[in-house]
Amino acid sequence: MQSKIDISLPKVLVLGTGGTIAGVSTAHPAQAGYRAGALDIAALVAAAPGIEQLANLQAEQIASIDSKDMGAAVWVQLAGRIRDGLQQGDVAGCVVTHGSDTLEETAYFLHCVLPAGKPVVLTAAMRPATALSADGPRNLYDAVQVAACLQARGLGVVCVLHGRIHSACDVSKAQPTAVDAFSSGERGPLGFVGVQGVQITRQLPSQPPGPLPQTPWQPPRGSWPRVELVHSHAGADGAVVRALMQASQSGDPSHKLAGLVVLGTGSGTVHEQLQTALDEAEAAGIRVAYASRVGALSGGDFDGLNAIKIRIRLMLELAAATG
Ligand code: ASP
């Protein structure tokens, strides 16, 4: 869908993938029940008053899902469409509407595989489109402001929610129901957006853990390397790791394990029995990376990334290594 064109305005590509921002209540609008991904992206654009005065919008539907069901197939589709779109000289930036549950995963994936040039902005909502005081229209409006903004270039992929501009590297969903559900932890947001326009207050320090070796990025020719998350906790005895190893050695290629990301306690410490199993996995050629279940750790190979993003990074690195 292409809105009426005003040649004085920048052009922004708006891609819909579903989520609560496109959700429709199945009960009274003040109650919780709703179906995510029910409305198409044209309806979301139409529900954001004044958005057509910010940019000429080209709206396209990529998927219509609850983002709890997100996976690599949609990531690859998004990456391809965004790269093609941004290569057009007249396109200033791109907005992706997404569910909030896995927003940080899609954002970080795109951050790793796309060049950090024109703005790529993900947004979401905590309330469905039909709710009282729905937050989606405002978030979408703000996301378009950022996508059309020259100052937002070179920041990598960002997420715009509740008036804040977060780096894909730092952001995580930190609260299950509040409208202000996203946080960039101690690093804080990259800036703010609202009636005052766009304000960038800090730059991305570096791109942890550095650009992918393969540019331009290509998806794996076969299946993605399997990287699983395991937790350390009271009584963690390594049985989960051994079960994964057993499945991996069963000969079924879909169970072949390539990596493990460990959500350790506190500063990344691991129960001694789980550690024994992890050492066995590493000796068998499985890549093991350590994170914390408390939040992102500073320093090391994955500086500032939480476990879920380290998993994505490992998938990308292992896929690049195997071709
Ligand atoms: N389950 C929804 C989703 O991630 C939640 C949301 O969008 O807020 O698609």
> Which CATH number fits the domain that encloses residue 252?
3.40.50.40
Nearest to 91 by CA among 43, 57, 45: 57
Q: Given this model, what pLDDT does residue 87 score?
A: 96
Count of domains for the chain: 2
Nearest to 10 by CA among 54, 58, 50, 41: 54
Q: Could you report the per-residue pLDDT of 63-106, keeping only the tens digit for each?
A: 999 999 999 999 999 999 999 999 999 999 999 999 999 999 99
Q: Does some domain include residue 137?
A: yes
Q: Does some domain include residue 219?
A: no
Count the residues in the chain: 323
5 CA to middle of ligand 1, Å? 32
Q: Does some domain include residue 61?
A: yes
Q: Output the pTM of the full model.
A: 0.95
Give the mean model confidence (pLDDT) for residues 199-215.
74
| Closest ligand 1 atom number to CA of residue 19 | 9
| Same domain for 280 and 315 | yes
Q: Could you report the per-residue pLDDT of 236-294, keeping only the tens digit for each?
A: 999 999 999 999 999 999 999 999 999 999 999 999 999 999 999 999 999 999 999 99
| Same domain for 167 and 28 | yes
69 CA to middle of ligand 1, Å? 10
Any atom of ligand 1 within 6 Å of the Cβ of 36:
yes
State how far the Cα of 271 lies from the Cα of 268, in Å rounded to an integer.
10
68 CA to middle of ligand 1, Å? 7
